[in-house]
Structure 1
Amino acid sequence: MPIDYAKLKSWPVPDIVQTYDVRDTILYALGVGCGGDPMDRADLAYVYEEAIKVLPSMGVVLGYPGFWLKDPATGIDWRKVLHGEQGVIIHAPLPAAATVVGKSRITEIVDKGKDALLFSERDVIDQATGQLLCTLTSTTFLRGEGGFGGPTGPTPQPHSLPDRAPDLTVDTPTVPQAALIYRLSGDYNPLHADPDIATAAGFRQPILHGLASFGVACRALLRACCNDEPANLKEMKLRFSSPVYPGETIRTEIWRDGKAVSFRARVVERDLVVLNNGFAQLD
């Protein structure tokens, strides 16, 4: 049954009220690889409650409305859904503990013929102050869902990386239990935990969440470009290109052009790009 464009475009994604504390903030940072070196004081700041810092990428787990595309009434086969792109715009530093409201909306659905693209946004708002903390942007690839007669464009072009060797690289090892830690921040998709489901999907083992790799790249940008000050990172976005297996090393390759930063990430062990077309804006 083809997508009903008008119905899906106006889908009432529920607002989510979420209260989190310092323990949740630390758990998120552990899930994206912080704290691997107990003598790294810069890294410790993200996982130790004394003067704790918050990774800007943590916005992706705040006010999350859940996998609502699994609802049969959407007309989408959720098993064919892929997370294509993710971005975060930081409007104010994320607090280490707060009650936030996540307000999600679908901005467009593009008919690509065979497949479709769903574009969505989420504002994360501090409930106590009304402060807009961050805006999350996401592109979801709907395999085999095209041909419903919707708009065929336009679609944003991916950010082009410079045609030169990277200026900086940051290697981040992941631990074998990385996906099991990250899922405790709210994404319980069994693909990241259950070997039977992972192998049935064509993987040799459960894979790391794409948004965990997103957090690894954020941590690398803070280290390499922001003097480990989260407030210096105002925006980052990227395209997911391949999964990571927990235990692999993620190498973030970075190009600096003033306050504009380009980046990608590859797994060292397989020399495979897993995050591509990355862009970040510095303060």
Structure 2
Amino acid sequence: MPIDAEKAVAAEPRSTRISWDHKDVQLYHLGIGAGADPDRADPATDPGELRYTLESRLQVLPSFATVAGAGAGVGAVGGLSSPGIDVDLADVLHGAQSVRVHRPIPVKGSAVQTSKVAAVYDKGKAAVLVLRTDAADDEGPLWTSDAQIFVRGEGGFGGERGPSERMVHPAVAPNHIVERPIRPDQALLYRLSGDWNPLHADPEFAGLAGFDRPILHGLCTYGMTLKAVTDTVLGGDVTRIRSYRTRFTGVVFPGETLRIEMWTGGNEVRVEVRAVERDNAMVLGDTFVEHS
């Protein structure tokens, strides 16, 4: 069997030293649409966008943690090479993602990133891998992230089914709604931050995975959504973000428009994201931003 759950969970954590600087941060922010906010008259030079794109004013969205050091073969896709796991990328989809930051991510840094398979769940027709990553520098912990990877055709091995709780759609109208267009080339730009899965660039490979064209990275939608929440609810201040989690409920295609709905209350923003051109089909659900 391509997935040996017991072996995968028992494997020793893998540690890798990673580093990044302002160019990596700027590239990531551009990949999630920074400098192209349609609500700004001149987004390329608007002060609200320059904090994501200009090195002298730069701040780091916590979702950057999902790609930091990705050139070193870490992150969700890198975790698929762990002992006990041998799967075909055409069968892999990103099911959920969470990031908790222990303090603001510096614009330039170096850290030791430790990754492990925290759990393997049996969903019957599929397996779900929970890949956990902790990063720390000389000053202490920086972030903890969990990626849930859905592997089609690898279930049925008699393992624990795992959590399946779903949140109920809010009964009231959202406090904020924004729309964010996705450029036709956005997946090609985003993948330069380190996610080289051909599902997002190669039409032939996308066809093998059951799609008629390449799809956008789920983590690109994830980053675009956090930026929209930060700019709309948190005054553009990324240091207020404590944690961010989502469940990927549907695919997004380059060229579509995201409708991002936000419900605010206390220290939390609840979010749902939909694809406008496909009858507002939901693409992110069970999404929460915890903030100060």
Match of 1:189 in 2: 197
Match of 2:10 in 1: 10
Amino acid corresponding to residue 274 of structure 2 in structure 1: R
**1:152 and 2:161 are equivalent in the alignment:** yes
Separation (CA, whole Å) in 2 of partners of 1:78 and 1:11: 21
Match of 2:105 in 1: 94
Separation (CA, whole Å) in 1 of partners of 2:2 and 2:34: 43
Amino acid corresponding to residue 97 of structure 2 in structure 1: Q
Q: SS at the partner of 1:74?
A: coil
Q: Deviation of residue 203 (structure 1)?
A: 2.3
After superposition, what is the alpha-carbon deviation per residue over 1:137-187, rounded to whole angstroms, capped at 9, x for unaligned?
12122222222232233x152344422221101211221111111111110
**1:168 and 2:176 are equivalent in the alignment:** yes
Instruction: Provide the TM-score with structure 1 as the length reference.
Output: 0.92
Separation (CA, whole Å) in 2 of partners of 1:62 and 1:198: 25
Match of 2:284 in 1: 275
Count of aligned residue pairs for this structure pair: 280
Amino acid corresponding to residue 104 of structure 1 in structure 2: S
Q: SS at the partner of 2:207?
A: helix
Q: Which runs of 5+ in 2 are unaligned?
A: 37-42
Q: SS at the partner of 1:211?
A: helix
Q: Deviation of residue 71 (structure 1)?
A: 6.9
8 Å Cα contact 1:117-1:140 kept in structure 2: yes
Match of 2:244 in 1: 236
After superposition, what is the alpha-carbon deviation per residue over 1:2-21, rounded to whole angstroms, capped at 9, x for unaligned?
64332121234532222211
User: Which has the larger displacement, 86-95 or 38-47?
Assistant: 38-47
8 Å Cα contact 2:8-2:83 kept in structure 1: no
Identity %: 39
Match of 1:206 in 2: 214
Q: 1:161 to 1:261 in 2, by over 3 A?
A: farther
Match of 2:32 in 1: 32
Aligned-residue RMSD, C-alpha: 2.0
Match of 1:84 in 2: 95
Runs (4+) of structure 1 exceeding 3 A deviation are: 70-73, 75-78, 158-161
Q: Deviation of residue 220 (structure 1)?
A: 0.8
Match of 1:131 in 2: 140
User: Which has the larger displacement, 59-68 or 135-144?
Assistant: 59-68
Alignment of 1:99-110 (within 5 A): 99-110=110-121
After superposition, what is the alpha-carbon deviation per residue over 1:113-138, rounded to whole angstroms, capped at 9, x for unaligned?
33222222111212xx2421111012
Separation (CA, whole Å) in 2 of partners of 1:125 and 1:237: 20
Q: 1:60 to 1:173 in 2, by over 3 A?
A: same
Q: SS at the partner of 2:136?
A: strand
Separation (CA, whole Å) in 2 of partners of 1:71 and 1:121: 12
